[in-house]
Amino acid sequence: MSTHDLPSEPPALQPLLNPLSNQEVRARVLALAEPADQALTANLKSHVPYIEEVSGYIIFSGGKRLRPVLFLLAARALGHQADPRHAAIFEYLHAATLLHDDVVDDAGLRRGRPAARVKYGNDAVILVGDFLFSKSYSLSVEVADHRFVQALTDCTTHMAEGQVLELLHTDDLDLSHEGYLKVIVAKTAVLLAAACQMGAIHAGADQATVRAFYDYGMELGIAFQMVDDALDYVGSEHEFGKPVGHDLEEGKITLPFIHARDHAAPQARQRLLELTRRSRQEPQALPEAQEIIRRQGGVEATMAWANHHAARAQAALAPLLAQGRPSLDLQTMLGLASYVVTRRA
């Protein structure tokens, strides 16, 4: 489905393949995150110790290590043990974007503690983010297959475009579903897609297989971000480790808002738009705006779309299942697609 033929109503919930329980998926992710963590520590070296301090503050402040784990899983699903050093590429990139995002968003909290910009200042955080981008590329050139660096280049270019797109659409109350998709694809999903794609490349896979893993990661990333956006309206700071309920306050127009705006009766729609415009200067307007979004089914619709994209992620791996490769690693990837739409943090 292209972004140009989206139905006006959210899709019906589809049954997802669930070869592993959520607990089993979490256990597998944690097991693979351990060598990734070791690689992150081993490769975080600089001639300037202050860079290591600031980098370590964001990298080792928590996080699920989903991106490096996806890289390792994709390679393992194809019978290849990828070097955890190269898994570090994706966490360094992710950390760099978090550092830059916190400056753009003027964030005060990240993963349950003061954001790095609060502790070290905006200038240091921006420069260390640049260092982490460079570190990612220095690791990627160790892989002989030219497709590896090309995939990373395509990914980082797309991510930079996503950050600009999000900035351009701040406070854009007319943002469409299609426009929202473009933002979350570029800002979030493309890095998960690249992790899976580059894992397959690391395994020496042919282009059709590489594309299947890329498509899986893309759809998984879309589902993941949609769930994040839904939980911003019903989750808690304890679950997230960061403030929730602040998307509207920060001018971030996400799918729950878009659905409510497009499906509300004229009077409720007008009230929602009015409250949202006021919320930047009048935080007391936020609770009513959020309540309208919940009442108009914005959260449920977003979760239905997340389920739709999770099902598409699983479908992308169908060719491998048809080839008779139901390995534990492939089962974990299928299970992750189910997990992301049932998680609470």
**pTM of structure:** 0.93
Assigned domain for 315 exists: yes
Assigned domain for 171 exists: yes
- pLDDT at residue 281, rounded to an integer: 85
Q: What is the torsion angle, in degrees rounded to the nearest 10, for the CA atoms of residue 185, residue 186, residue 192 and residue 193? A: 80
Assigned domain for 281 exists: no
- CB within 8 A of 302, min separation 6: which ones? 10, 226, 227, 229, 230, 254, 255, 256, 259
Assigned domain for 263 exists: no
- pLDDT at residue 238, rounded to an integer: 55
- pLDDT at residue 344, rounded to an integer: 64
* Number of separate domains in the chain: 1
Distance CA 30, CA 91 (A): 15
Assigned domain for 216 exists: yes
- pLDDT at residue 236, rounded to an integer: 62
pLDDT along the chain (345 residues), means of 10: 63 90 94 92 90 91 88 96 94 94 85 87 95 95 95 96 93 96 96 98 96 98 96 72 72 96 96 92 91 96 97 95 82 96 77
Assigned domain for 49 exists: yes
- pLDDT at residue 2, rounded to an integer: 46
Domain that holds residue 83: 22-233+306-340
Give residue 241's region: left, alpha or beta (phi > 0; psi -120 to 50): left
- pLDDT at residue 242, rounded to an integer: 52
Assigned domain for 132 exists: yes
- pLDDT at residue 243, rounded to an integer: 58
Assigned domain for 52 exists: yes
Handedness of CA 235, 253, 339, 345 (dihedral sign): negative
CATH number, domain containing residue 81: 1.10.600.10
